[in-house]
Amino acid sequence: MTKTAILLHNLGGPSTPDEVEPFLENLFSDPEVIRLPFSRWLQKPIARLISRRRAPTSRENYRIIGGSPLLQWTLAQARGLELGLREFYPDEDVLVLPAMRYWTPSIEDALHEARERAVERILSFSLYPQYSLTTIGSSETLLERCLAALDWSPELIKLSQWYDAEDFHKCWAWRIEKELAALAPEIRKETVIVYSAHGTPTSSVGRGDPYLEQVEATVEGVCRQLSSDKEHTLAFQSRVGPASWLEPHLDEHIADLAESGVRSVLIVPISFVCDHIETLYELDIEVKRIAIAAGMTHYSRCRSLNADPDFLGVLTRLARDALRGGE
């Protein structure tokens, strides 16, 4: 039996105030996040400048939510995936490792551990359901570089996208139905579902990035699983810098909905698989504040997938199918 490691790719996030600035510097040093002319010389110093300026505000935001729980949720997903795969690989301990792009444990850390454990096969598993050059594209590029630097060539299987997985759509639909059912009938009737996805620079879409199409397909897939045809919209959050990013921007979109007479929204973080700064602070505090100030009387956010049993089942099924395809 081939010894297998699964690398769970995610963004990463600071757990302590001292980690905020170096995390931001790592993030903004990636040319897939902020593309600069003469990036070979300018990327690092400009990333350092941006992170230094943004660190005080970001540090306070992380303090408010108690630090990023992203690693804890990824570790819980890893444990659940290991347990789930035992049914299909009872004679093998499949090693599941977080592999963070901009913080620890890093992709390089995960590869070192896999090599020390005599792994022969690696499943590179994206925890971003929709493919983007700026997320899993960047992680997979770094993965290849790290393997080359280690002079190591294990069998490599890539699971880079799973936006069209019906069981994934059902996870979101169940949560949406549950949130709507908890509302008073008069509020439920007028509630608009707002699907929110992480933004990406429009320049990446121009380079052939399928992210926008895949997000739209995910929304359509979830809507097909709902029992009623609720009014819904799609917007994008977390834009960075002066460059053009996908629109509509969530903060502006919420204000526009309120101006048009919408008084109740349910936010669904369709591109995220666990709680972190962009759900716990940006959606639960910042965007909610905008909605209420704009005149909305009800604002709620759909519960995240995190390490809930139904979502762990989706991850297990995806990993099993990918490994069987590799076999």
Token readout for 205 is 């879409």
**Contact between 203 and 134 (Cβ < 8 Å):** no
**Predicted pLDDT at 91:** 85
Q: What's the domain count of the chain?
A: 2
| Helix/strand/coil percentages in the chain, nearest 5 | 50, 15, 35
pLDDT at 327: 57
Does 33 score more than 90 pLDDT? no
User: What pLDDT does residue 43 have?
Assistant: 86
83 and 145 assigned to the same domain: yes
Q: Does the pLDDT value for residue 37 go beyond 70?
A: no
Listing DSSP states for 85-128 in one string gives: HTTT-TTS--EEEEEESSSSSBHHHHHHHHHHTT--EEEEEES-
Residues 138 and 260 in one domain: no
Distance CA 44, CA 29 (A): 5
**Predicted pLDDT of residue 27:** 93
Same domain, 157 and 176: no
- Quickly state the pLDDT bin for 39 (edges 50, 70, 90): low
The H or E element that residue 205 is part of is: helix 202-206
Rounded-to-integer distance, Cα 234 and Cα 199, Å: 11
Please tell me the distance from the alpha carbon of residue 154 to that of residue 88, in angstroms, as a whole number. 21
State the pTM of this model: 0.95
> What does the alpha-carbon distance between residue 163 and residue 310 come to, in Å, rounded to a whole number?
16
Question: Is the distance from CB of 6 to CB of 120 less than 8 angstroms?
Answer: no
Find how far residue 103's CA is from the centre of its chain. Answer: 15
Statement to judge: residues 31 and 147 lie in one domain? yes
Cα separation, 311 vs 225, whole angstroms:
16
Same domain, 149 and 207: no
pLDDT value at position 40? 66
Write the pLDDT tens digit of every residue in 213-230.
Answer: 999 999 999 999 999 899
Across the range 195-217, mean pLDDT stands at: 94
Q: Are 149 and 189 in a shared domain?
A: no
Task: Write out pLDDT tens, residues 248-279.
Answer: 999 999 999 999 999 999 999 999 999 999 99
Task: Say yes or no: 139 and 227 in one domain.
Answer: no
pLDDT value for 25: 94
303-324 pLDDT, tens digit per residue, is 999 999 999 999 999 999 999 9
Asked if residue 177 and residue 215 are part of one domain, the reply reads: yes
In contact, 158 and 52? CB cutoff 8 Å: no
Nearest to 267 by CA among 239, 245, 238, 236: 236
Judge if 37 and 120 occupy the same domain: yes
Q: How far is CA 209 from CA 131, 136, 267, in A?
A: 8, 11, 25
Range of the domain at 254: 166-301
Question: Mean pLDDT lowest for which of 26-35, 132-141, 217-226, 302-311?
Answer: 26-35
- Spatial separation of the C-alpha atoms in residues 107 and 147, rounded to whole Å: 10
Predicted confidence at residue 65, as pLDDT, reads 95
Measure the CA–CA gap between 114 and 147, rounded to whole angstroms. Answer: 11
Residues 272 and 125 in one domain: no
Q: CATH number for the domain including 60?
A: 3.40.50.1400
28 and 128 co-located in one domain? yes
Shared domain for 97 and 74, answered yes or no, is yes
What's the first-to-final CA gap in the chain, in angstroms?
11
HSE of 120, CA atoms in CB hemisphere, 13 A: 7
